[in-house]
């Protein structure tokens, strides 16, 4: 069993997609052992509770500085000692230390086709606003392993999604979630849980 921790900040629709996929058997060999949120108001915590999964709040607001927040985050991760950490709409930077200590064990979902519309300042709705402002015709989502960089690390999977002329950021966000994110993320977890992925020189191979 792949003991998996999911980190969230908001609505948690990606978390829900993972939980549904585990329940339906689309994702196998996987146990969601905890959900960690940086945001007390995150609906994702309610989703965790409804599914009988321990939800934990670790907010930077409860610590005097980043250093002590990061120390608490690392302590919690070491206690949980997961096989996989999924950043499913986790909008806070994780401690650098975590990327070395859990190297190859952290994945992230990003709502664009990396390397477009990613990096500092590109998160959540802001990504879709930037996509519409630039006028690109195709966007999408990316699942990747997390390294010390921002939205960097070996790419596991990507899926393209069309941009329509009268899209608002909210409409586009929803289409990217439905057509790409909620499919890619559970699939990536299932691939990892069933040892289908290998990473060599920064490239992910499946099979
Ligand atoms: C998702 O669109 C996810 O790709 C994005 O935040 C949203 C969270 O939605 N993540 C990032 O922008 C990370 N850079 P959710 O809480 O409903 O899953």
Q: What is the pLDDT of residue 61?
A: 95
What ligand 1 atom has the least distance to the C-alpha of 43? 16
Q: How far is the CA of 154 from the centre of ligand 1 (A)?
A: 19
**pLDDT, tens digit, for every residue of 55-77?**
999 999 999 999 999 999 999 99
- Residue 1 pLDDT greater than 90, yes or no: yes
Confidence of residue 207 (pLDDT cuts 50, 70, 90): confident
Q: How far is CA 98 from CA 77, 101, 169, in A?
A: 9, 5, 32
Question: Mind telling me the catalytic residues?
Answer: 110
**Is the pTM of the predicted complex or chain greater than 0.95?**
yes
Pick from 141, 143, 4: which is nearest to 85 by CA? 4
**pLDDT, tens digit, for every residue of 10-20?**
999 999 999 99
Q: Tell me, using a 6 A CB cutoff, whether residue 114 lines ligand 1.
A: no
Q: Tell me, using a 6 A CB cutoff, whether residue 55 lines ligand 1.
A: no
Exposure string of 57-93, with b = 16+ CB inside 10 Å and e = fewer, is: ebebeeeeeeeebbebbbeebeebebbbbbbbbbebe
CA 3 to chain centre: 16
């Amino acid at each position: 069993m792949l003991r998996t921790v999911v980190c969230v900040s908001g609505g948690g629709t990606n978390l829900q997609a993972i939980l549904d996929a585990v329940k339906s058997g689309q994702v196998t060999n996987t146990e969601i052992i905890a959900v960690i949120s940086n945001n007390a108001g995150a609906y994702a915590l309610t989703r965790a509770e409804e599914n009988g999964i321990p939800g934990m709040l670790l907010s930077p607001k409860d610590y005097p500085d980043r250093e002590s927040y990061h120390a608490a985050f690392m302590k919690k991760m070491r206690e949980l000692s997961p096989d996989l950490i999924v950043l499913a709409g986790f909008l806070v930077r994780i401690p650098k230390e975590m990327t070395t200590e859990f190297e190859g064990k952290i994945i992230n979902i990003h709502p664009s086709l990396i390397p477009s519309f990613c990096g500092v300042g590109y998160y959540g709705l802001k990504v879709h606003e930037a996509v519409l402002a630039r006028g690109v015709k195709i966007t999408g989502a990316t699942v990747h392993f997390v390294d010390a960089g921002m939205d960097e690390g070996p790419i596991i999977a990507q899926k393209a999604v069309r941009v329509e002329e009268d899209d608002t950021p909210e409409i586009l966000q929803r289409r990217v979630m439905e057509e790409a994110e909620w499919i890619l993320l559970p699939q990536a977890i299932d691939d990892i849980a069933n040892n289908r992925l290998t990473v060599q020189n920064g490239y992910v191979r499946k099979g």
